[in-house]
Structure 1
Amino acid sequence: MRIAIAGAGNVGRAIARELLGNGHQVLLIDKDPKALKLDSVPNAEWLLADACEIAALDQAKLDGCQVLVAATGDDKVNLVASLLGKTEYGVPRVVARVNHPKNEWMFDSSWGIDVSVSTPRIISALVEEAVSIGDVVRLFSFRKGEANLVEITLPDTASCCGKTVGEVELPENAALAAIVRDTHVITPKDHDVFTAGDELLFVASSVAEEKLKSCFI
């Protein structure tokens, strides 16, 4: 895939290196000449331009990109670049970085954003996941909460322990994606038995998420 990244700071360059390592073509865009550290990501394309300007995005040939990552340190820039990428160039997938949690509510489809990434929220979720047993913990949201990746760690008292996957009826719009047990990741099958300490990963709607605890705890 060809992927454009608006913002060539530490975050943008780190994303670029990861994507290049996975075999993708990457274009880094930044208006600050000091950010263009070509030697740091030598296999990427670089463009000195403002990602909020149509002329710059024309030059970047954004209509030929399958993904746009808005990764600058300025939420206003990320919102504008995302909106232009989706509405003017029809980029199929737009991912945007949220710098300030108070702005997170704006990072949705109305601004052309398919997935928003808030570092504080992710860190908070990971902390909760590490210490919460018997609670439903939201790890990540897809399409602004239309579907969520959630986790439940089963306590010793969980009502589902000893039952098979096939015996536990999930709420509508919820799917059990994986069971993490000790050092193993298990792809759930109907005959697999739930045991205390299992970490269950679900993809679920917000409504289904609220019902999951009653099914397992």
Structure 2
Amino acid sequence: MRIAIAGAGAVGQSIARELLEGEHEVLLIERTTANYHPRLIPGAEWMLADACELASLEEAGLQSCDVVIAATGDDKVNLVVSLLSKTEFAVRRVVARVNDPRNEWLFTDAWGVDVAVSTPRMLAAMVEEAVNVGDLVRLMTLRQGQANLVEVTLPESTPLAGRRVRDLKLPVDAALVSILRGGRVIVPQADDPLEAGDEMLFVATSNVESEIRAVIHDQPE
């Protein structure tokens, strides 16, 4: 895939390195000379330009990008980049960094954002996940708030130990997408048994999260 990243600060550079390792084609767009260091990531294409300017994005060939990542440290810039990417260049997938959680409500499809990534929210979720074993933790909002990625770690006393995936009576708008067990990533199959300590990842709408919680604790909703 061809992926454009607006913002070549520490965050943008880190994302670029990860994507290059995945053998993607990466374009870094940076407007300040202070962060413009092509020698640091020679495998990426670099462009010294303002990603908020339509002419710059046209010159960058944004219409040929599969994904745009707005990763600057300025939420206003990230919103403008997202909107231009989606409305002017019809980029299929736009991911935007949220720097200030108070602005998170703006990062929706109205501004061209497909996925909003809030570092403070993710850190808070990781803390909750670490200390609240057995409780449902929301990790990320997907598709403009239509669904969430949620996680629960089965406690040692879980009543689900030994049961099969098929035994989970999940609500309609929820899907178990992965089970993390030790160092393994398991794509759940109907006959797979559940074990204490399993980290279960679900994609679900907000209104059924309480039903998932009831299923995990084997309690009728």
The TM-score range, normalised by the shorter chain, is over 0.9
Q: Give the ranges of 4+ consecutive aligned residues of structure 1 lying more than 4 Å apart after TM superposition.
A: none
Q: 1:3 to 1:182 in 2, by over 3 A?
A: closer
* Cα separation, 1, equivalents of 2:25 and 2:196: 44
- Deviation string, structure 1 residues 4-23 (Cα, Å, up to 9, x no partner): 11111111111112212211
1:175 is aligned to 175
Q: 1:180 to 1:34 in 2, by over 3 A?
A: closer
| Structure 1 residue 82: Cα displacement | 0.6
* Cα separation, 1, equivalents of 2:16 and 2:190: 40
1:122 is aligned to 122
Structure 1 residues not aligned, in runs of 5+: none
| Structure 1 residue 140: Cα displacement | 1.6
| Structure 1 residue 78: Cα displacement | 0.5
AA of the residue aligned to 2:214: S
AA of the residue aligned to 1:127: V
| Structure 1 residue 32: Cα displacement | 0.9
AA of the residue aligned to 1:180: L
Secondary structure (helix, strand or coil) at the match of 1:160 reads: coil
Secondary structure (helix, strand or coil) at the match of 2:188 reads: coil
- Deviation string, structure 1 residues 1-48 (Cα, Å, up to 9, x no partner): 111111111111111122122111111111112221111111221111
Secondary structure (helix, strand or coil) at the match of 2:3 reads: strand
Q: 1:183 to 1:61 in 2, by over 3 A?
A: closer
Q: Which moved more, 1:65-74 or 1:146-155?
A: 146-155
- Deviation string, structure 1 residues 169-200 (Cα, Å, up to 9, x no partner): 11111111222333433332222232332222
1:33 and 2:33 aligned = yes
* Cα separation, 1, equivalents of 2:47 and 2:2: 14
| Structure 1 residue 131: Cα displacement | 1.3
1:23 is aligned to 23
* Cα separation, 2, equivalents of 1:186 and 1:22: 21
* Cα separation, 2, equivalents of 1:97 and 1:170: 32
- Deviation string, structure 1 residues 121-147 (Cα, Å, up to 9, x no partner): 111111111111221111122113312
- Deviation string, structure 1 residues 105-161 (Cα, Å, up to 9, x no partner): 101110000111111111111111111122111112211331211111222443333
1:45 is aligned to 45
Q: 1:109 to 1:163 in 2, by over 3 A?
A: same
Q: Which moved more, 1:151-160 or 1:65-74?
A: 151-160
Structure 2 residues not aligned, in runs of 5+: none
**Percent sequence identity over aligned pairs:** 56
What TM-score, normalized to structure 1? 0.94
Secondary structure (helix, strand or coil) at the match of 1:46 reads: strand
1:87 and 2:71 aligned = no
- Deviation string, structure 1 residues 81-117 (Cα, Å, up to 9, x no partner): 1100100111111111111111111011100001111
Q: Which moved more, 1:185-194 or 1:92-101?
A: 185-194
| 1:183-194 correspondence runs (5 A) | 183-194=183-194
1:165 and 2:138 aligned = no
1:198 is aligned to 198
